[in-house]
Amino acid sequence: MDDKHLIEIARKAKENAYSPYSKFKVGAALLTKNGKVYTGCNIENSSFGLSICAERVAIFKAISEGEKDFEKIVIVADTTESIRPCGACRQVMSEFGDFEIVMVSKKNEIAKSSVRKLLPFNFNGSFLEIQH
Ligand code: THU
């Protein structure tokens, strides 16, 4: 599936954002290696810390459906510069390896990177080995 189509899907998902506090809508479309697409939007809460980003919603939906091999994630917002995923989302993405991140602005400006490039030196499961 091409980026243009994924951007359209992410824009549609953005419209479902529940963001009455920030009024900032974000949409995500996560493409799996076997060609499925999982969407996400940000979902806020009156207890602000419970809010969740669009990227993590898409990833958690995919994981809950048994998918964990990802090709790319497309993120859209009505920003002047292309949107950037927050640090928490980068960490969550890094749990599932390296894949492409496509970041899109309101006027369709596109920046491309990858999980490893946006979060080098990440914390990961190898640090959890018990040291005696
Ligand atoms: N947000 C996302 O959903 N993804 C991002 O990449 C950045 C921020 C959301 C969280 C919150 O609902 C709103 O945008 C403002 O921070």
* Nearest Cα residue to atom 13 of ligand 1: 24
Q: What is the pLDDT of residue 132?
A: 65
pLDDT at 129: 84
Residue whose CB lies within 8 A of the most ligand 1 atoms, among 15, 16, 22, for a mutation test: 22
The model's pTM is 0.96
Q: Which of 44, 45, 58, 56 is nearest to 12 (CA)?
A: 58
| Residue in this structure with the two tokens 């030196």, named with its chain if needed | 121
The CATH number given to 3-119 is: 3.40.140.10
Residue ranges per structural domain of the chain: 3-119
pLDDT of 87 above 80? yes
pLDDT of residue 27: 99
pLDDT digits (tens, 9 = 90+) for 39-60: 999 999 999 999 999 999 999 9
